[in-house]
Amino acid sequence: MVNPSALGVAFLVLLATTTMVGSSSPSRQSFQVAHPSLGTLPLEESVEAMLGAYQSQTNTISLDQDGLDRAQRLTVQVPRGVTFQGRLLINGEVSQSLQGDGITLDLRDFLSLGLTEITLEGTYTPPDSAIMIAFENPETTVRQQVGQQGLVRYHIQFRVD
């Protein structure tokens, strides 16, 4: 599934969280659907449930090791009127839980020789808006609007030589 519609993603989430409960009547078997609201699931479970089938995007930025002593700022901006809930992962581990306006981090402590992967994932409303992510240092500025239909899964790989 390359680019699921909002209805398709909602169906997959419903399917993943739905359990079928059969009645004890041998002559008439009926089923009732029982599923928790996504709002009641812990953040990690709801993000994983919704993003499981979502296409992600990856960008790679090459940096010179000699420049790592200067600021390496990563900014996540959430527009006014947009509600965002998500997380920032560095090399697969949760670094920051995000809610509200966004965050700015200096990545100097996280970047080293080789490859470092930063992932922004989460949900936002209204779904027709977007989240801005930016990376800035003295030599490089990269800005991109990310997200689609209320979902964000965006990877930035930093290759330090």
What pLDDT score does 80 carry?
92
Which residue, 69, 54, 76, is CA-closest to 134? 76
Q: Does 1 fall in a domain?
A: no
Residue 150's CATH number: 2.60.40
Mark 77-90 as b/e (b = at least 16 C-beta within 10 Å): bbeeebebbbbbbb
Q: How confident is the model at residue 7 (pLDDT cuts 50, 70, 90)?
A: very low
| Shared-domain flag, residues 73 and 98 | yes
| Shared-domain flag, residues 85 and 129 | yes
For 71, half-sphere exposure in the C-beta direction (CA atoms, 13 angstrom radius) is 11
Which residue, 125, 129, 118, 117, is CA-closest to 99? 125
| Shared-domain flag, residues 84 and 154 | yes
Q: Please, what is the Cα angle at 93 between 144 and 123, to 5 degrees?
A: 45
- The predicted-structure confidence for 110-146, as pLDDT tens digits, reads as follows 999 999 999 999 999 999 999 999 999 999 999 999 9
| Shared-domain flag, residues 94 and 39 | no
Q: Average pLDDT over the chain, rounded to whole?
A: 76
pTM of the model: 0.65
Q: Does 104 fall in a domain?
A: yes
What pLDDT score does 76 carry?
95
The total of structural domains in the chain comes to 2
| Distance, CA of 37 to CA of 101 (rounded, Å) | 25
| Shared-domain flag, residues 74 and 37 | no
| Shared-domain flag, residues 42 and 110 | no
| Shared-domain flag, residues 104 and 132 | yes
- Percent of the chain at pLDDT > 70 equals 66
Q: Does 140 fall in a domain?
A: yes
